[in-house]
Amino acid sequence: MPLHTTLLAIALAASHTPSSPTPPPDADWWPRHLPSRVVTPLEETPAQLDARMAWWREARFGMFIHWGLYSIPGGYWEGRRTGGAEWILNSVKIHPDDYMPLQSQFDPVDFDAREWAMIANNAGMRYLVVTSKHHDGFCLWPSAFTDFDVEGTPFARDILGELAEACRNEGVVPCLYHSIMDWTHPDYLPRRAWDDRPGGDHDRYVEHLHRQLEELIERYGPGVLWFDGEWEGTWTHDDGQRTYDLVRRIDPRIIVNNRVDTGRTGMAGLTRSGGYRGDFGTPEQEIPTTGLPEGVDWETCMTMNRSWGYQSFDLAYKTTSDLVRKLVDIASKGGNFLLNVGPDERGRFPAEAKERLAGVGRWMSFNDDSIHGTRASPFSTLEWGRCTRASLPGGGERLYLHVFDRPEDGVIRLPGLLTRPMHEAAYLLAAPGAGRLAVERDGADLAIELPADAMVDPIDTVVILDLVAPALVVDGPRITVDSGIFIEPFTVTIESPDPTVQLRSTTDGSDPTFDSRIDVDEIEIDRTTTLRTACFFDGVPVGAVVERRFERVMPVASVQPFVIRDGLAWRTFLGGFERVSDFAEAPVEREGVVATVDLSMQPRDENFAVTFTGFIEIPTTGIWTFALDSDDGSTLRIHDSMVVDNDGLHSALEKSGAIALEAGLHPIRVDYFEGTGQDDLILRWSPPGSATFAPIPPERFKR
């Protein structure tokens, strides 16, 4: 491991103690002058990736800061409360020439980089991501490539430089958010409808963006570059690849989020398959319901109130309890939590934000071991709370049991945990001297009895349970099948989660028992059936009952039109639509014929809709699955059936659906609308018996 990576790992592995900040790392922690030959991303091995990501995975908790010129109006424009926060230029449709004079008013005399870094450290945050440049184009550092920066303000201080130094002195890793969009730069495209400035050159803008990135990396050495604004139609997959590779060639240690490229799937934030760049996914304002597969790095970014940037009237702050439990929930699913603060025009954190962060810090001061350096829970669900875990020397494992809601009987149960406890006892993380808690086996479960006064923290009391080996938890079985509908009888395969358990199933909808008739892992399905299956250990049920319903259907008959021509008919509509139904009665803007489902006929960059109608030729009778990928909303109907419902405002998102079709022609309709940002529409299919989606050949579309 390189020296600088080692120093970073050591700094971040230190225990968080608010009263005794981590000592600052050596002065050469992040060198300004980097070697001319470095490892490129394509040469990175899995071991090198793990080493690069190690400090970030250990951190689990970071601070997001949205700050810039938009903090001056604070949600007001020309005396009116307009909202918009950091999006105010766009939401109020302010011409850049009327927005940019805010630069002369930017004088945050109360800005104190050391205070910001201390607040982050005291809250238990291990890294800080600040907006070097948001979508309005204003730069919080003195850039050699623009005058629209902090050097041209009355303040005139290098904010990023001061903050990077303060973070390092507090043991917090400095990181940068950098917007791909730039509403005020003369070369950025596309222009807003109200921006009548001439010119614009995308390639020249990308070159400008790259020069600024080189400047930021070499001057400030960020641990993470957090991109945003990739959804505009001008930013391409190639742009994302080149930008990611540029950043990693300058400094191969930098971690880069997936918004550098165009593969993000909506607000859920994960990366679609297809070679897209990015080291971690970025769910926004949401937490994955069940977590993600092991090995997928992700980070939920979330506001403390409703706004990213400062708005004086936004006082809808989440409670300290809610924030702590969100942090625990995210860590229990293997993710990081990036919690936002929007400082005001004077450089002050809102009082409510400081109070919430102090509250989180108080909880973390006793319980941070249950967050930093932990991995995802081995349990799918726990009725009373969450679980994080960490490895112990000698091959054991420590479970941190986060009790949100004390069970009425005072007993927390760990369903399906077969691994033996190390000491046959547990204890409270925040009060290890308070005595041992008895641990007993109850069939396939472990049970820990909490004494009446065990709830030392109403937000989250953490119980430690050490195991002799990594936790072996038997969850529900897995039923592997492509679709819930079928035409001919077929065999369902039931996969056991562990060889030490036995499977039992029923096909009449009843709960399986150990004496259930069906004890095989393959079941023939020949009629509409509700299959329920469960695992048993020594005759005792383990984990949840898994249910799947299979419906036997007849394939939809094909049709025979009188006249058949190649291609699909299309119609376009103009308007600010938010649902497919919004343009059902809208006047047609234009119409024509296209060879396949694409956006070659789009009438403008934003606020339009397209409908495709015609027939699709199905080669063979069977269950056909269709995938519809769009930004924004879309639907696929075949005959009168809704096959894929991908409706609503969202970023690039793929959904799929299945239908039984007879070989031949079938009427098809695809509806799509684009709000603002990137436009994207892809329709693919998967034939019977295949799990792979492929483009639909144009010759299969008729009208």
pLDDT tens for 404-454 read 999 999 999 998 898 999 987 899 999 887 889 999 988 778 999 998 776
Mode of pairing for the β-strands spanning 485-486 and 445-449: unpaired
> Rounded mean pLDDT of 181-202?
95
| pLDDT-above-70 percentage for the chain | 93
114 with 180, same domain: the answer is yes
Residue 622's domain is classified under what CATH number? 2.60.120.1560
Residue after which a domain boundary falls, among 408, 438, 467:
467
Asked whether residue 236 falls in the same domain as residue 291, the answer is yes
Query: Which residue would you say has higher pLDDT here, 303 or 650?
Result: 303
- Sequence letter at residue 690: S
Boundary of a domain, candidates 441, 467, 493: 467
Distance between CA atoms of residues 703 and 701, nearest Å? 7
Q: Is residue 25 part of a domain?
A: no
Instruction: Over range 683-700, report the average pLDDT.
Output: 92
| One domain for residues 616 and 639 | yes
For residue 675, what pLDDT is reported?
Answer: 85
Question: How many of the other CB atoms lie within 10 Å of CB of 454?
Answer: 19
Please indicate, yes or no, whether residues 409 and 264 belong to a single structural domain of this protein: no
Measured CA to CA, the distance from residue 262 to residue 155 in angstroms comes to: 36
Tell me the per-residue pLDDT of 100-158, one tens digit each, with 9 for 90 and over.
999 999 999 999 999 999 999 999 999 999 999 999 999 999 999 999 999 999 999 99
- Residue 203, domain CATH: 3.20.20.80
**pLDDT at position 466 over 50:** yes
Q: Which of 448, 467, 486 is the last residue of a domain?
A: 467
My answer on whether 572 and 634 are in the same domain is yes
Q: How many CB atoms lie within 10 A of CB 290?
A: 7
Asked if residue 255 and residue 126 are part of one domain, the reply reads: yes
CATH code for the domain in which residue 393 is found: 2.60.40.1180
Nearest Cα residue to 70 out of 55, 60, 82:
82
Residue 40 pLDDT more than 80?
A: no
pLDDT in tens, 640-675: 999 999 999 877 788 999 999 999 999 999 999 998
- Classified as helix, coil or strand, 114 is helix
Quote the pLDDT of residue 474: 83
Burial class (CB in 10 A: 0-12, 13-18, 19+), 426: buried
Rounded mean pLDDT of 577-596?
Answer: 94
Picking from 141, 120, 137, the residue whose alpha carbon sits closest to that of residue 129 is 120
Same domain, 119 and 259: yes
Q: Is residue 216 part of a domain?
A: yes
Q: What is the pLDDT of residue 526?
A: 92
- Residue 41: its pLDDT value, please? 57
pTM (predicted TM-score): 0.77
Q: Which two tokens stand for residue 194?
A: 């109200």
Looking up residue 544, the CATH number of its domain turns out to be: 2.60.40
Contacts with 230 (C-beta within 8 Å, 6 or more apart), sequence order: 180, 240, 259, 260, 261, 262, 264, 678
* Closest by Cα among 215, 217, 210, 275 to 241: 275
Which pLDDT value is given to residue 42? Answer: 63
Domain count, the chain: 4
* Confidence at residue 517, expressed as pLDDT on a 0 to 100 scale: 67
Label residue 88 by pLDDT band (50, 70, 90): very high
Token digits of residue 549: 């319903």
- 682 with 606, same domain: the answer is yes
**Is residue 435 one of the residues assigned to a domain?**
yes
Distance of alpha carbon 501 from the chain centroid: 34
Burial track 670-680 (b if 16+ CB lie within 10 A, e otherwise): bbbbbbbbbbb
CA 584 remoteness from chain centre:
33
Per-residue pLDDT, 680: 84
Closest CA to 591 of 581, 603, 607: 603
- Domain shared by 488 and 603, yes or no: no
Mean pLDDT value across the chain: 90
How many Å apart are CA 244 and CA 210, to the nearest integer?
Answer: 10
What residues make up the domain containing 72? 3-17+33-370
State whether 215 and 66 are in the same domain.
yes
Listed in sequence order, the DSSP H helices in 2-104 are: 3-13, 46-59, 88-91, 96-99
List Cβ neighbours of 205 (8 Å cut-off, separation of 6 or more): 182, 185, 187, 188, 189
Distance CA 74, CA 307 (A): 10
Specify whether 70 is located in the same domain as 186: yes
How many whole angstroms separate alpha carbon 476 and alpha carbon 259?
35
Residue 429 CA to residue 412 CA, distance in Å, equals 16
Q: Is 280 strand, coil or helix? A: strand
For residues 192 and 150, membership in a common domain is answered with: yes
Distance from C-alpha of 109 to C-alpha of 89, rounded to nearest angstrom? 24
To the nearest 10 degrees (0 to 180), the angle between helices 320-332 and 351-367 is 50
Residue 649 included in any domain? yes
